């Protein structure tokens, strides 16, 4: 995720999960903001947990390209040319 031009930091799992937890709290839904870490290899991660389970980040699918404008209709028995 690309941050806005005025923001000099990075937007990663901690920022996204905190914003998600705050948004859920403002909507009146109970959520837990969870921070996890391990030592070898050093790694940290943040996520949101609700009563229904973990909320996973869902990336939107890229939009499908529009169909070409010069598409010709397929020939079927109704559109077949008459013989003779």
The string of pLDDT tens digits covering residues 7-42 is 777 778 888 889 989 999 999 988 889 888 888 888
- List strands edge to edge, sheet with 31-38: 31-38, 43-50, 53-55
- Rounded CA separation 43/55 (Å): 20
What is the predicted pLDDT for the residue at 84?
57
Closest C-alpha among 41, 50, 43 to residue 14: 43
Q: Which one is predicted more confidently, 84 or 32? A: 32
Q: Find out whether the peptide bond into 12 is cis, omega within 30 degrees of 0.
A: no
**Phi, psi dihedral angles at 24 (to 5 degrees):** -65, -40
Q: Which of 4, 1, 25 is nearest to 13 (CA)?
A: 1
- Portion of the chain with pLDDT greater than 70, in percent: 62
């Amino acid at each position: 995720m690309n941050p806005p031009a005025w923001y000099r930091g990075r937007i990663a799992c901690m920022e996204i999960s905190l914003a998600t937890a705050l948004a859920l709290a403002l909507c009146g839904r109970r959520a837990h903001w969870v921070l996890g870490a391990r030592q070898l290899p050093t790694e940290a991660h943040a996520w949101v947990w609700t009563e229904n389970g973990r909320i996973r980040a869902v990336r939107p699918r890229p939009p499908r390209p529009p169909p070409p404008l010069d598409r010709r209709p397929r020939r079927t028995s109704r559109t077949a040319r008459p013989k003779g």
